[in-house]
Amino acid sequence: MNMLDNKVILITGGLGTLGRSAIKMFLDRGAIVYACDRIQMDAYPATQQLLYQYGEQKFRFMQADVCEESNMISIIDEIENAYGRLDGTYHTVHTNVWKPVLELTLAEWEATIRGTLTSTFVVNKYALPLMIKSGGGSIVNTSSILGQIPSKGCLAYGAGKAGINQFTKVLALDYAQYGIRANVLVPGDFGSTESLAAQSEQAKAAMKDNAMLGRSANADEINEMACFLLSDASSYTTGALFTVDGGFHL
């Protein structure tokens, strides 16, 4: 039996680096996947091909901005109508602007907080009722090592990601009685197979200096932890932060 057999899982940011990797991994491990993103799937033919490979009983996609409440309501309604339940959510959406405070505009601050922390609020708020109705489930919110370690110019993004950490801990406490587990995935530097192959020598050298394992992660390595947290193998795990950064934080 696969780790995620017949679990209905929502992946937000499904066409980002983590999202595309997660869609394929979760489908290969038996999950029923519903993914969404603001951009159209035809920009990523390999992911689009999974629609034909697995069919809509196993994989569906909606173009949507999960910061918008109406979009999340539509997503959850479609999941309930199609599958009758929701067993897990994997939230990977983010927005980032690298500027120190004196150069950061209020609009940039608000856009970054909206894309990180507010999106987490909206996704969790509207996914929770169906998960509770389904008898419980697992929430995985993606933070970042930059929500724990300060980096120059990473003001708004770092604050938003730090907020996700505390948000998820409180969520876990509030809804444990309903069989809901909520954990935070805290990745370090990562990329797709293609982007890592094209990584500059300067970037590779920086990772050798800053990470104990001396390299960036492939997105699949990050999603192995997400897969664990969404599966029954982590049934006694909630309210925790799981750092997958190659030792960058030490």
Whether 250 is in a domain gets the answer no
Tally of structural domains, the chain: 1
| Mean residue pLDDT across the chain | 92
Whether 249 is in a domain gets the answer no
Exposure string of 62-96, with b = 16+ CB inside 10 Å and e = fewer, is bebbbbeeebbeebbeebbeebebbbbbbbbbbbb
Q: What is the pLDDT of residue 191?
A: 67
Q: What is the pLDDT of residue 250?
A: 64
Distance CA 50, CA 42 (A): 12
Whether 1 is in a domain gets the answer no
Whether 2 is in a domain gets the answer no
Whether 70 is in a domain gets the answer yes
> Which residue range is the domain that position 14 belongs to?
8-243
Query: pTM of the full predicted structure?
Result: 0.94
Q: Supply 247's token pair.
A: 């030792």
Whether 33 is in a domain gets the answer yes
Whether 97 is in a domain gets the answer yes
- Catalytic residue among 44, 126, 157, 175, which? 157
Whether 128 is in a domain gets the answer yes
| Ranges in the chain, pLDDT < 70 | 1, 191-193, 195-199, 249-250
The contacts of residue 250 (CB under 8 Å, 6+ apart) are: 212
| CATH number where 139 lies | 3.40.50.720
Q: Tell me how crowded residue 24 is: count the other CB atoms within 10 A of its CB.
A: 20
Distance CA 138, CA 194 (A): 30
For residue 157, indicate whether it is catalytic.
yes
Q: What is the pLDDT of residue 6?
A: 94
